[in-house]
A and B are shown apart, each in its own frame.
Chain A
């Protein structure tokens, strides 16, 4: 059973009621199928109603849901023969970034993504998906490898940001992110960036400069977390909900701003309700996007990639 978010309580109450009726009907041998059907219909309606009127903060809660499918789940659902590659060849292997080669609909591709854990133990091992420089350097290495063997690259973005620590700074976090952005700007194979959970700051963009940016329906993307925004601009981190509404982080807003190219639907109730269905939608969207990109010669691909970023925030004098 998925952890219940506060705003999902009405759905939860209906579901509890339904299961009570089922038990009761079974125990007493009374036919309650009509009553159950009515309640089930009601539950679907309530869920659809709630999920079609989410606030930005509710999107944040869904995007950060502990049971939301992570990069590793989508690799398992969508890529066959996946082989993980470790290390940046300079310093070490960053567990916050997973990368390797697999088959997508039969075609060899390189997959890279930030990997958050689903519980405290996993999150400690994965550093909550917050990469060190060696994570970005591993990503760059795998991207150059993909270019050499003419494989498309799929990047899954799911991070609150790059790790803010002593070692990360010593080993040049700023340089690693900048260099990774540069590598993506010039990579001669298609790059599809997919925001699957939360994408914040240069830490997200460090693997996010794609020919296309896809966002799952309930994913969020911005320059800083709502908590960071509230604590820096308002000196009050408790105003995180208000910040979430202020800075435009939800997928549909990011699409309106010309950054996200496509919103990938999720099952009603969020990807964690039905990970297989979520992966199905995601697989379709990636396949469709990849087909479009594979038709372009490298020069055209790079020209369009340049134009995509050049035109963001384009200004008239």
Chain B
């Protein structure tokens, strides 16, 4: 819905200057915010966070899995579900193909089971590299199945949201995924089970307005763009510039919609602490 609202992430690869011929291409990256030139290798070691200004680069689902789940514990579920094109739109077919090539993923979310400091969890991790993490039928279905798996296996659920919202190319069917995922969450909640929602950059539109907003606990990454309507549409509507920091994670923490902002370097230990605080009968 609000896909257009996100500033393109300027992950420009800087060409090495002619003096340094021994450094191969693609080894440097420029920070999208402070423009510091960073070594990709260092950036990877630092959770993909700029060491100079703290900017959190967007993560691929695979990178997130590596950072959060115990080594070797992750087992993907429903990996084989392929995207659908209900209205047979040629444009959409092409975009899906491009998204698959670009991201190496079948769809915009990866779901599975694994453990965090030994605590078993079900997790779903969205990836903006696939059509800005937008939610159509398949994303809604995979999220719903993850919620149902958590309910069936009596495991805590952690969803990392990263999405521009509902996927427009699937029309009303995308909109109905909001209801479908929330219906499943209602059942999980009534069963007394824990759901932690982690909002990452960006979490907006139909994803923020459904499962992402309904965690028992809501964490956010620093400066993640959050909201229902993206900033560009708001600016067009009200015909004024939005203030600095509007709709960032810190803004929503201040306004009471986020429990805690957690820097990426502390995400795993924070989740582990929360999970252990909810373990029953084995204190």
Interface residues of chain A, those whose CB is within 8 Å of chain B, are 162, 164-166, 168-175, 177-179, 181-182, 185-186, 201-202, 204-206, 209, 221-224, 228-229, 231-233, 246-249, 254, 257, 259, 305-306, 309-310, 312-315, 317
Contacts and interface: CB of A to CB of B under 8 A. Distances in A.
B172 interface: yes
B3 interface: yes
A178 B209 contact: yes
A202 B166 contact: yes
A207 to B, nearest CB: 12
A22 to B, nearest CB: 46
A90 to B, nearest CB: 11
A109 to B, nearest CB: 22
B181 to A, nearest CB: 9
Given A175-B213, A224-B168, A257 B229 contact: no
A181 B178 CA distance: 8
Interface string B202-221: 00111011111110000000
Contacts of B170: 223, 313
Interface string B238-253: 1000100011000010
Given A169-B227, A201-B1, A315-B137, A229 B168 contact: yes
B182 interface: yes
A193 B117 CA distance: 46
A174 B177 contact: no
A173 to B, nearest CB: 4
Nearest to A210: B179
6 A-B pairs closest in CB distance: A313-B137, A178-B213, A164-B229, A174-B208, A173-B228, A177-B209
Given A173-B229, A223-B166, A185 B176 contact: no
Contacts of A206: 209
A60 to B, nearest CB: 14
Interface in B26-66: none
Given A181-B210, A313-B177, A315-B81, A166 B246 contact: yes
22 contacts: A166-B242, A166-B246, A168-B228, A172-B257, A174-B228, A177-B210, A178-B214, A181-B210, A201-B1, A202-B175, A202-B205, A233-B91, A233-B168, A246-B87, A247-B168, A247-B169, A257-B86, A309-B179, A310-B184, A313-B86, A315-B138, A317-B81
B70 interface: no
Nearest to A254: B172
B89 A175 contact: no
Contact of A185 (B183, B206, B237): B183
A288 to B, nearest CB: 23
A42 to B, nearest CB: 37
A145 to B, nearest CB: 19
Interface residues of B, number: 64
Given A175-B257, A202-B209, A233-B168, A223 B174 contact: yes
A313 B213 contact: no
Contacts of B211: 178
Contact of A313 (B173, B208, B228): B173
B144 interface: yes
Contact of B234 (A166, A178, A224, A254): A166
B118 interface: no
A248 B190 CA distance: 35
A233 B164 CA distance: 13
A313 B210 contact: no
Nearest to B187: A306
A181 B179 contact: yes
A248 B92 CA distance: 14
B4 A232 contact: yes
Contacts of B3: 232
Contacts of B177: 312-313
A223 B180 contact: no
Given A177-B209, A202-B166, A169 B234 contact: yes
Contacts of A248: 87, 171-172
A313 B168 contact: no
A257 B237 CA distance: 32
A166 B213 CA distance: 19
B80 interface: yes
Contacts of A172: 252, 255-257
Nearest to A133: B228
B152 to A, nearest CB: 14
B176 A315 contact: no
